[in-house]
């Protein structure tokens, strides 16, 4: 590994970029963060519904191969709607490829067995639910997941109204207040973390910080 590892941040929507760029700067300034964005992936993913097509999977993998060609020491995917494609990329490429929510799942299950999740992009929920169940099974945890999809929040965020996005997400959080932890499903949703923490007393987990720390540990041989 180079003295300054190159981490490719692989984005499928612009609204996921700022949270993880901020996390990289705070938690791993020694790394070189490189951003790749194809927002057409999320636009077309939303049209497909719950199933991820072979065509979109192929496009996703092509972009990952490009990330490897430009010298990635690790690839951190920031969109949660492409789980099966991320797994294929991880199998194919000789560098760590991290799903956006893997580290957050780890932290949530450590907090208890009844987990809530606030999501804003409905097509991602089915793959995230499957990933959570598989992760729980692999770790031997008897954890359950209840998800609320916050309507309209991501559309407001895409229009630049982060404050309204945060208010909508926080307004639904009390419905999960009896859970052991609440996860904010997407990198973009992490903007609402403080607003959610203001209305519930349980741990509120966001993906960017957890993912950056997990990638750093993997490249430092601590994974």
Going by C-alpha positions, the residue among 163, 174, 165, 169 that lies closest to residue 199 is 174
Give pLDDT tens digits for 136-166.
999 899 999 999 999 999 999 999 999 999 9
* Inter-residue contact 38 to 64 (CB < 8 Å): no
* Rounded-to-integer distance, Cα 84 and Cα 106, Å: 19
121 versus 1: which is more confidently predicted? 121
* Inter-residue contact 89 to 64 (CB < 8 Å): yes
What confidence score (pLDDT) does residue 102 get? 86
Give the 3-state secondary structure of residue 103: helix
Residue 3 has pLDDT above 80, yes or no: no
* Rounded-to-integer distance, Cα 103 and Cα 181, Å: 14
Give pLDDT tens digits for 99-132.
988 889 999 999 999 999 999 999 889 888 998 9
pLDDT band at 223 (very low <50, low <70, confident <90, very high): low
Give the 3-state secondary structure of residue 42: helix
Residue 95 has pLDDT above 60, yes or no: yes
User: What pTM was estimated for this model as a whole?
Assistant: 0.82
Which H helix or E strand runs over 77? strand 74-77
* Rounded-to-integer distance, Cα 76 and Cα 150, Å: 25
Contacts of 153 (CB under 8 A, 6+ apart): 120, 164, 165, 168, 169, 189
Residue 1 has pLDDT above 60, yes or no: no
């Amino acid at each position: 590994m180079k003295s300054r590892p190159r981490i490719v941040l692989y984005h499928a929507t612009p609204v996921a970029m700022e949270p993880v760029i901020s996390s990289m700067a705070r938690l791993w300034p020694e790394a070189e963060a490189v951003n790749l964005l194809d927002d057409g992936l999320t636009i077309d993913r939303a049209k497909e519904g719950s199933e991820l097509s072979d065509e979109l999977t192929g496009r996703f993998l092509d972009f990952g191969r490009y990330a490897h060609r430009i010298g990635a020491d690790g690839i951190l995917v920031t969109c949660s709607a492409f789980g099966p494609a991320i797994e294929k990329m991880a199998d194919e490429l000789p560098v760590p490829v991290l799903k956006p929510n893997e580290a957050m799942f780890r932290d949530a299950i450590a907090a208890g067995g009844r987990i809530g999740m606030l999501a804003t992009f409905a097509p991602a929920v089915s793959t995230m639910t499957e990933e959570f169940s598989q992760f729980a099974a692999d770790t031997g945890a008897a954890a359950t997941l209840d998800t609320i999809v916050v309507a309209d929040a991501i559309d407001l965020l895409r229009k630049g109204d982060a404050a309204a996005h945060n208010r909508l997400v926080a307004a639904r959080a009390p419905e999960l207040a009896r859970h052991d932890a609440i996860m904010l499903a997407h990198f973009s949703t992490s903007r609402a973390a403080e607003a959610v923490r203001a209305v519930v007393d349980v741990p509120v987990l966001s993906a960017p910080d957890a993912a950056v720390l997990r990638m750093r540990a993997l490249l430092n041989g601590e994974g």
